[in-house]
Amino acid sequence: MIQRQIVDTINILCDKFPVIALTGPRQSGKTTLLKNTFPDYQYVSLEDPGNCDFAHSDPKGFLKLYSEKVIFDEVQRVPHLFSYIQTIVDTRRQMGKFILSGSQNFQLSQNITQSLAGRVALFKLLPFDFTELKNVNLLTNDYPDILIKGAYPALYDRQIPSDVFYANYIQTYVERDAVELIHIRDLRQFRAFLGLCAVRVGQLLNISALANECGISQPTAKAWLSILESSYITFQLPPYFKNFSKRIVKSPKLYFYDTGLVCHLLGIKTDGDLVYNPLKSSLFENLIVAEFHKQNEHRYQHMDFYFWRDSNGNEVDLLRPHAMTFDIFEIKSSQTIMSDQFKGLKFLQEIAQEAVAAKTLIYGGNEIQYRSHYTVLGWNQVSNY
Q: What confidence tens digit (pLDDT) does each residue in 224-245 have?
A: 998 899 889 999 999 997 766 6
SS3 string, the chain, reads CCCCCCHHHHHHHCCCCCEEEEECCCCCCHHHHHHHHCCCCEEEECCCHHHHHHHHHCHHHHHHCCCCCEEEECHHHCCCHHHHHHHHHHHHCCCCCEEEEECCHHHHHHHHHHHCCCCEEEEECCCCCHHHHHCCCCCCCCHHHHHHHCCCCHHHHCCCCHHHHHHHHHHHHHHHHHHHHHCCCCHHHHHHHHHHHHHCCCCECCHHHHHHHHCCCHHHHHHHHHHHHHCCCEEEECECCCCCCCCECCCCEEEECCHHHHHHHHCCCCHHHHHCCCCHHHHHHHHHHHHHHHHHHHCCCCCCCEEEEECCCCEEEEEEECCCCEEEEEEECCCCCCHHHHHHHHHHHHHHHHHEEEEEEEECCCCEEECCCCEEEEHHHHHHC
Q: Taking the domains of the chain in order of start, what are their residue ranges?
A: 7-124, 130-284, 306-384
Tell me which of 14-18, 157-161, 328-332 is least confident: 157-161
Q: What is the mean pLDDT of residues 125-139?
A: 96
- The answer, yes or no, to whether residue 197 has pLDDT greater than 80, is yes
Please indicate, yes or no, whether the overall pTM of this predicted structure exceeds 0.75.
Answer: yes
Architecture of domain 7-124: 3-Layer(aba) Sandwich (3.40)
Instruction: Give pLDDT, residue 177.
Output: 75
Structural domain 130-284, CATH architecture: Orthogonal Bundle (1.10)
Q: What is the mean pLDDT of residues 149-156?
A: 96
Per-residue model confidence (pLDDT) at position 271: 92
